[in-house]
Amino acid sequence: MRSALITGVAGQCLDVDEVGFIRQCRPAGLILFSRNCSSHDQIRALVASFRDAVASDDVLVLIDQEGGRVQRLRPPLGRTLPPAAAYAALYAEDPKEACRLAGLTSALVGQDLKALGINTSCAPVLDVPVEGAHDVIGDRAYGTSPAQVAALGRAVAEGLEAAGVLPVIKHIPGHGRATADSHLDLPVVTTPRAVLSVTDFVPFKLMADMPAAMTAHVLFSDIDAEAPASTSAKVTRDVIRGEIGFRGLLMSDDLSMKALRAPIRASAEAVIRAGSDVALHCNGELTEMRQAAEGVPVLSGPALERYRAALRVANGSAAVDVAAAEKALDFMLRRHAAGVESV
């Protein structure tokens, strides 16, 4: 039995109340943030204690390690990583080389995560930003062309898989047009669906074979004027599972983000009712964690099968050319630094 919940925790070790909650709830996964990480040995111990409390090694352990602004592990805990925009800049000159280097550096990141017991990376970002959108995506994007975003995104995802790490594409069906940060408010996109179909949705269509995806807390008024994508059965059914054709494990974005204005339990119920397989709750507040757990079911049926398929990827073995990957990362960092200095 496994609860349809991925949870955060408060600190760098589990307290007795968290252990009790995890033993009772048996979440599908754990997501780590900078607050949870102080040393490599401590991270390994925290992950091991979570697995012990769940009474299984078969769990997802997630982290956001995109590079640039969004990487929870920074030196000395993790390597300095360039933002997605650095690969986009190289793609303009040499698409094949940009994809090759993105794949190599992603594999290196995956290997580093795997060594800490982390088997899932919430990457790549497949959002396509447009002029005038909020900069919450910004340089996290792999370009402004849907085909380019998909090409680089696939290279990153395949690099993670080469390291035996599960990639999670985000934020399906697209966050690039959002005029607000969904951590703070609900973004509303009024663009007609016909336009979205040939722009924002395209990278996700091209990567619909991926094993896991994270939904967007964005309201697309031409599709569902009442609910954001993450809590919209219409968006999930007609767009994510329908037009896009995504068949992998679908998780919500964080339930504690301000874009969702309902109480935590109601938000958990809403994302599951809309069609997500698992709900994600990140802030580590135990009272909220319990409320989220009350709003989700035990994994079963197709959701359980998709979870098991994701676990098979997350439990894969590594095949990484470390020397080539380190050379690729060094090149990208030097190139990106030179570009920043020239601005």
* 127 annotated active-site: no
The catalytically annotated residue of 200, 253, 254, 277 is 253
Closest CA to 54 of 111, 121, 117, 122: 117
Place of tokens 């290196």: 108
| CA gap 174, 217 in Å, rounded | 9
The DSSP output letter for 65 is E
* 254 annotated active-site: no
Peptide bond into 82 cis (omega under 30): no
Residue 123's alpha-carbon distances to 31, 220, 253, in angstroms, are: 13, 23, 13
Q: Are 213 and 123 in contact (CB under 8 A)?
A: no
SS3 letters across 149-200? HHHHHHHHHHHHHHCCCEECEEEECCCCCCCCCCCCCCCEECCCHHHHHCCC
> What sign has the CA pseudo-torsion 43, 44, 45, 48?
positive
For residue 30, the surrounding DSSP H or E stretch is strand 27-32
Q: Give me the residues paired with residue 67 across strands.
A: 70
The DSSP output letter for 115 is T
Q: Are 2 and 278 in contact (CB under 8 A)?
A: no
Phi/psi of residue 266, each to 5°? -65, -40
The catalytically annotated residue of 17, 94, 135, 183 is 183
**Vertex 159, ends 216 and 334: CA angle to 5°?**
95
Tokens of 154: 């696939």
Helix (H, G, I), strand (E, B) or coil at 81: coil
Which residues does the annotation mark as catalytic?
A: 183, 253
